Chains A and B, each alone.
Chain A
Amino acid sequence: MWLPFLGLILGILVGQTLTFTLPASFAPYLSVATLATLDSTLGGIKGVVLNKYDGAILITGFFINGSLSAFMVLVGDWIGADLYYVAIFVFGVRIFQNLAIIRREFVSKFMSNHMHKNHPTTHEVQ
């Protein structure tokens, strides 16, 4: 259960120590890629919660969505169409949807556990 969180903290530390800082002109592409990968990660958590988890889809989604979104924004810059905002909009909506689904699943699990046990002092859910 806590392994993913450990991975997240380890990743933050790795990012902190490796210090790959891109030039400021790459900032929008990296932002979009980060947003896409956040969407993928939340999608994976959603899959776990809904018992519809598929590791292959998560991994491919993570890499391909991340790189493709950054690339699409770059292409948009080339042809003069600002796809940056489109990407932010799409991934933003998906992130909030995923968050909502995860929240609803947790709440319903918590409520059903509470009802079944019928024991008001136990809160060892999640």
Chain B
Amino acid sequence: MNLLRKLIPDFLRQWDLDLQRSHPRSWSTRIHQHLWFLMLINALVFALGLLIRISTVKFPDPEDLFGWIMTPTVVYGAFWVYKVVLFTPERRFGIRKPFAEVGELGIHFISLLLIMTIPYNLAVTVTYRIANLMTDAEFVEDVDTLNKNAYLFIEGDGRLFHANNSLTDPEASTYVMSAHSHGYFKDLDEYVHRNDYVEGRPLMIGALYQEHLNAYNNVSDPNSEAYDTLSAAFHRSQIDSIERTCPFYFTAHGPFTPSYTEGAFLSDSLLEVGYVAMVRSERPIDQEAVRRTMELGHRYSESVGNRTVVEVLNEFAERRSSSFNLSSANEQIRKIWEAKTWTYFFMRWEGMVYVLVISCFLLAILLSIFKNLYWQPLLITAVVCLLLPLVILIGALILDETIRGLEDEKVMVYTYYSIALFLVGWTFLAPRTNTYRTIRAVLTILANLVIPFIAIFTIALLHFEWDVFGEEAFQNMMSTIRENDPNDVRLPALDLQAELLRQRVQNTLLVVFWGGIAVYVLALHSYFRAAYTRLMALPEGK
């Protein structure tokens, strides 16, 4: 603690003193010290983010870092909560100002949100550094180069091979399979039109090859009822014939293109066009392009191996599996693109708004309650909140089993709603009690937690269970029309109306949700704070 005191500069000490003397409620939130220490911590975290070793071949996953730093963040948060609850005007029966209490709630809420700058700082710093390891254009060019030359570095020899488990188990069956990244085609035309197969025509070579392969696997297995050595020999000879006479062509285009997001990469179609043109031209393979591709392999992976261009070309010419492990660069490329596009769970705005903001808001309410009331009812409330869902779930499952027609989900929803309504009722009774009892404090806390969300709970229940907006009925009507006549002329207009209705319902739910929170903050928070202070001041009933 002495070390912490040394970190506080003189101006902050003076500010602390002024706040303590003249604005005790603001002082008790420790917002001034919180901001200062957050600044220091964030400076350290930022420095850590800069010091972490980052290169194209190796860097930590920002999501992992986010999760990792949450532990010290929670420790800091707990320490901050401890400091915040030490001094409370209400616990000392000091002067109360309802408006100041709303401000205090706001400060707690912002303080909690600000704590989250710690994990964001680290994760964002590292992400930014990863994203800027190279320019986007450079990255796209690298990926395109790798994609264009990927056919030279195929793993697996492209020929039938035995996956023989007999080394470890003599009784095990022998199973054969082909390399998945290769295809056997009669010629380049068949390769180009490989996806244009029409029912009834003879199978293409690649498909035929696969059929013989499957058949061979079936009849060569001594444990299979279809076991037949003659048939096996036949299928094996067909397979060998295809492998000998039909050159394989590359089938997987763009294996290095990050699949989940759009970018300026060459599409699979363009890559195929280029590949086909190259094969058709029968020009010798560009050795400089191979060297460049291998350089890129080294750039993005430590485990590609050391091979020369000649070795790679020889392996390809002999249709052998490439010993230059280019695919090992794939994961790094995906991760760099993830950083460039900020595709992380902690950057999803829905998550930020609904998880972060709502959880911080609830924590701020709990903190305000804790500053206003004894710790025992809060602890009991926490236990109730943990156990109640379990009890309701078990009760619902029992009722579901014993009473016909009852659905456990409905039982749970209506039980929760009944409890919520009871707590809303208690909200009006809380200020009328004449003695303090722990159970009354617990009920008041629970009511406090339910009140901001009771409006959205009600409207959601009316919507999903009672279809008050008529959305479900509308959809049912459209389904009926669609079933009767899929080409009904009314359907496009009805689709539009359905979409409008859906948007209206969504907007209504949003307005009710935020409205409930706004009403709580502006009016009901002070009401509850008054109820707590009253409870704290009441004599204990024994």
A and B interact physically = no
Interface residues of B (CB under 8 A from A): none
